[in-house]
């Protein structure tokens, strides 16, 4: 793979009408051993990847069915702003999908870690209660909940 | 009376009485700790005040602060304060003399839970009655006496 930053649409536009090209996303550019440059495009409605030479005298299409299911994520303004903030803060140049996946994996671990920390803090609070650092009037709670006298 | 016992699921606003019961009841403590780890236990200001008042000194206060800072806060804003007043008016109008005289913490917890559309976890029969009045899902953290 030679690059995945700068989209190149000409090979596809030589094959398809512009309105059809809108259904594709450019993925990356590959240079073969013989110097042939290929651009990979993926159609939004499936997992097929179309690989075209810069001069489309010929082309090959390979299907690349992923063995893993896909997750649809709506690229709403909130998500866009979140990714933009991460890019601004870290300077990362990862593609959106790559960045999103990494943040999801790291975010899941951060979420679990936060839960473990919450539990540790609460356990410390109960230990403090157990070690007489609190004046909990438990008898008052019992009196409050006692059934009314007959 | 049907006792609505908490099964440990769903987000809940933990009343001070739930924390106190969890202090002495291992099963209740286990359920509450699990909910805390999942992020399902919430707090509001009156509960925080009460837990802090019960602390004997800085160490206990710090333990309360660290714990509650990690949990979701249920807001007690102007609308909740207004709801406390209207609840007292309704209770006074619909009951016998002094029917509106509930502990202010319980009234505020119940109104905050109603405002946030969240259930209350408790060990306090006042909250059973307030929950019924306000249409809030109230759950005992353990079997009442």
DSSP sequence for chain A: --BSSS---HHHHTTS-HHHHTTEEEEEEEE-TTS-EEEEEEETTSSEEEEEESSTTSEEEEE---SS--------HHHHHHHHHHHHHH-----HHHHHHHHHHHHHHHHHHHHHHHHHHHHHHHHHHHTT-B---HHHHHHHHSPPP-
Q: Tell me which of B81 and A62 has the higher pLDDT.
A: B81
Give me the pLDDT at residue A130, please.
93
On whether the CB atoms of residues A10 and A17 are closer than 8 A, the answer is no
Residue B121: what are its φ and ψ, rounded to 5°? Answer: -105, 125
Q: Is A63's pLDDT higher than 80?
A: no
- The whole-number average pLDDT for the span A18-35 is 79
The pLDDT of residue A58 = 45
Contact with chain A for residue B88, Cβ under 8 A: no
pTM score above 0.80: no
Place of tokens 């290929």: A38
**Nearest alpha-carbon partner for B15 in B30, B1, B32:** B32
ipTM topping 0.85: yes
The residue of chain B with its CA nearest to that of A147 is: B145
Whether residue A122 and residue B39 make contact (CB cut-off 8 A), yes or no, is no
Burial of residue A10 (number of CB atoms within 10 Å: 0-12, 13-18, 19+): exposed
Of the spans A41-45, B53-57, B112-116, which averages the highest pLDDT? Answer: B112-116
Q: CA dist A90 to A81, B23, B67, Å? A: 14, 44, 31
B94 — contact with chain A (CB < 8 Å)? no
More confident residue, B60 or A142: B60
Q: Is B14 on the interface with A (CB under 8 A)?
A: no
Mean pLDDT, all residues of chain A: 81
Query: Distance between CA B116 and CA B57 in Å, rounded?
Result: 32
In which band, very low, low, confident or very high, does the pLDDT at A22 lie, cut at 50, 70 and 90? Answer: confident
pLDDT at A116 over 60: yes
**Of B75 and A148, more confident:** B75
For B63-108, write each residue's pLDDT tens digit. 999 999 999 999 999 999 999 999 999 999 987 788 888 999 999 9
The mean pLDDT value for A40-47 works out to 65
Interface contacts (A, B; CB < 8 Å): 81
Interface of A with B in 119-148 (CB under 8 A): 119, 121-126, 128-130, 132-138, 141-142, 144-147
| Contact at CB, A118 and B21, closer than 8 angstroms | no
Min mean pLDDT across A15-19, B51-55, B139-143 is at A15-19
Do the Cβ atoms of A145 and B145 come within 8 Å? yes
Domain limits, chain A: 1-72, 73-135
Identify the CA nearest to B50 among candidates B111, B109, B116, B119.
B109
Separation between Cα atoms, residue A5 and residue A20, nearest integer Å: 22
Interatomic CA distance for residues A77 and A84, integer angstroms: 10
Instruction: Report the sign of the C-alpha dihedral through residues B17, B20, B25, B28, in that order.
Output: positive
Contact A114 B126 (CB under 8 A): no
**Closest of B135, B126, B143, B145 to residue B7, by C-alpha:** B143
């Amino acid at each position: 793979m030679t690059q995945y930053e700068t989209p190149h649409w000409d090979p596809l536009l030589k094959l398809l009408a512009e309105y059809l090209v809108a259904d594709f996303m450019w993925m990356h550019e590959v240079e073969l051993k013989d110097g042939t440059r290929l651009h990979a495009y993926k159609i939004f409605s499936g997992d097929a990847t179309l690989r075209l030479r810069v001069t489309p005298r010929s082309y090959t299409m390979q299907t690349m069915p992923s063995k893993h299911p896909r997750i649809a994520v709506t690229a709403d303004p909130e998500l866009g702003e979140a990714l933009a903030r991460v890019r601004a803060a870290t300077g990362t140049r990862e593609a959106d999908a790559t960045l999103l996946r990494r943040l999801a994996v790291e975010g899941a671990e951060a979420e679990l870690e936060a839960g473990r920390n919450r539990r540790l803090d609460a356990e410390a609070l109960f230990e403090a209660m157990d070690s007489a650092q609190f004046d909990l009037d438990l008898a008052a709670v019992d009196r409050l909940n006692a059934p009314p006298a007959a | 009376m049907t006792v609505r016992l908490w099964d440990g699921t769903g987000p809940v606003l933990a009343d001070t009485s739930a924390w106190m019961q969890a202090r002495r009841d291992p099963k209740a403590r286990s359920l509450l700790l699990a909910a805390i780890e999942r992020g399902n236990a919430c707090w509001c200001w009156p509960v925080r005040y009460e837990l802090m008042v019960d602390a004997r000194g800085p160490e206990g206060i710090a333990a309360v602060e660290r714990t509650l800072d990690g949990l979701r806060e249920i807001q007690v804003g102007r609308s909740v304060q207004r709801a406390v007043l209207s609840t007292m008016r309704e209770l006074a109008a619909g009951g016998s003399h002094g029917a509106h005289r509930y502990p202010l913490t319980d009234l505020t917890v119940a109104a905050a839970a109603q405002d946030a559309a969240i259930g209350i976890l408790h060990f306090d029969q006042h909250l059973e009655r307030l929950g019924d009045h306000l249409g809030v899902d109230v759950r005992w953290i353990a079997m009442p006496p």
